Structure 1
Amino acid sequence: MKILNTRPAHQSEHLTYLIEKNGSSVFHFPLLEILPVSFNPIKVGDFDYIIFLSANAVHYFFGGSGSDNAVNETIIAIGSATKHALTKLGFNKVICPTNFSSDGILKMREFQNCKNKSIAIISGENPKPLLSKILRERGAILKNIFCYCRKPITYDMEKIFPVLQANNIDIIITTSAENLLHLMHLFQKPNHRAWLLEKKLCVINEKMKTDAFAIGFKSVIQAENATDEMIAKSMKRLTVND
């Protein structure tokens, strides 16, 4: 089985390793480039809670090195990859929600009564508004830090499309709404779009699954969460079923 991995180049290697370990082959087709943006630095210890919404947020906020005087602060990570990025920098009090999502964070005990609590949310530009909106409604004093952006990668589709056809792609992995949107933008020509919609699509949440069916995909599988392990598990399940 041939799988199209659309994760950003610097994040694709581990997922590719897991997929190939399960017996499938991978074609790399990154759709987004992750770039740093300037921001006003803050001190982790100045807030009651710090929330990191991605491993990229950890990397670009700290610039690759941790904060020695804040390793004992309690930090919220949206998922296991984000938690791993923080623990690698020396943070030893990192907790995750049961459900790796903004909704999962909002259900955490720490945020049920957060009136007048100071909270910093570290993310890329243009995050989903739900988390900030609800925390403000609950009375939190919120500060958003945007430390990176996602830049769509352009391709000469007249050149790359025959290559994709020749590789006999079976499944396409998309890991964000922005990722899926740019995929559709690239495959605009009728013959390109028809080829795309014939493929099985792997997504990482219910909203993406609904959107994919609305776009016209006939076969959509939802991974349990956005971790490489759960995506690879979904790919293995498809391979076994086929």
Structure 2
Amino acid sequence: MADAAARRSGAALAGLRVLVTRPRHQSAGLAALIESCGGTAIRFPVIEILPARDLRPAQAAFESLDDFDRVIFVSPNAVEHGLALMDTARAGNARAPMMAVGESTAAALERAGFGRVSRPVEGASSEALLAQPELQGEAAAGSRVLIVRGEGGRQLLGDTLSKRGARVQYAEVYRRAPPAVNGSDIAARGKDGGIDAIVITSREGLENLFALLGDGSAEWLKNAGYVVVSERLAAHARALGIREQSVVAAGADDEALIEALVRWRAAHSKNAK
């Protein structure tokens, strides 16, 4: 994590101007941490989270939680929108253990009162969760698994569990959409060199950023510095033409992103000398 002394003195990110692209309702924590480290947080949500178009399949699954051996939440948004449909008192007593793809998702479940949430020891991805012993071998074979996710979510988790012999069902509780925002101020700021680093937490968010700011911003966006949450996302950034190697955070939680921003800052301070 970011150096404690530097954090206390507000020096870890002093003067750094960071574009925070999390959804509006999830950006305050990261923005506050950036400011506490001496940086400037520029909030520009590139994804809006909305309820899924058809919630009936998810509601039916939640009414039968005791039929499942594992319930996996893939994101904090899955927790928020899933719990809005659940009888949380009943869910808290369900026999199926709750699992989370990463620390932020596990923390959201624990804040809601779930006391036994399994999560990866390291990392925050489908790959990391699939390495858990309870999702391998005999533990997976024949088990019934409910995956709570957004519409059109990544298939790796469900496909791999199916290959391991699990019976997988999905509860799609939210969808992602480009927000109705005017990006002209951000575009002008970026062109004038007023943004040092950009935090991106999803592939769709990165694509929306380019779309929302328009073709006139493509060049500075490709030359900008990025902090991302996975090697997979870093590879997608390169495929879009982003020239600088992205710094990959250890997870998608705010503290992991701050630590990655500190590493980004340190690398650029060395290059400037």
Whether TM exceeds 0.5 here: the answer is: yes
1:180-219 alignment to 2 at 5 Å?
Answer: 180-189=206-215, 191-219=216-244
Do residues 23 (structure 1) and 44 (structure 2) align? Answer: no
What amino acid is aligned across from residue 34 of structure 2 in structure 1? I
Q: Which residue of 1 aligns with 2:154?
A: 128
1:236 positional shift: 1.9
Q: Which residue of 2 aligns with 1:104?
A: 128
Q: Which residue of 1 aligns with 2:12?
A: none
| Distance in 2, Cα, partners of 1:187 & 1:131 | 33
What amino acid is aligned across from residue 116 of structure 2 in structure 1? K
Do residues 79 (structure 1) and 102 (structure 2) align? Answer: yes
1:19 positional shift: 1.2
Name the count of aligned residue pairs. 241
- Choose 225-234 or 7-16, whichever is displaced more: 225-234
The TM-score normalised by the length of structure 1 is 0.92
What amino acid is aligned across from residue 199 of structure 1 in structure 2? A
The root-mean-square deviation of aligned C-alpha atoms, in Å, is: 1.9
* Percentage identity across paired residues of the two chains: 32
1:198 positional shift: 1.9
| Distance in 2, Cα, partners of 1:39 & 1:174 | 32
Do residues 151 (structure 1) and 177 (structure 2) align? Answer: yes
1:20 positional shift: 1.2
- Choose 2-11 or 17-26, whichever is displaced more: 17-26
- Choose 30-39 or 69-78, whichever is displaced more: 69-78
Greater helix proportion: 2
1:156 positional shift: 4.1
1:52 positional shift: 0.4
Q: Which residue of 1 aligns with 2:56?
A: 39
1:66 positional shift: 5.9
| Distance in 1, Cα, partners of 2:237 & 2:153 | 20
Q: Is the 8 A contact 1:22 1:236 kept in 2?
A: no
String of CA shifts for 1:169-209, please: whole Å, max 9, x gaps. 000111001111112223442x4111212210111111111
For structure 2, which runs of at least 5 residues remain unmatched after alignment? 1-15
The TM-score normalised by the length of structure 2 is 0.82
SS of the residue corresponding to residue 10 of structure 1 reads: helix
1:71 positional shift: 2.0
1:240 positional shift: 3.7
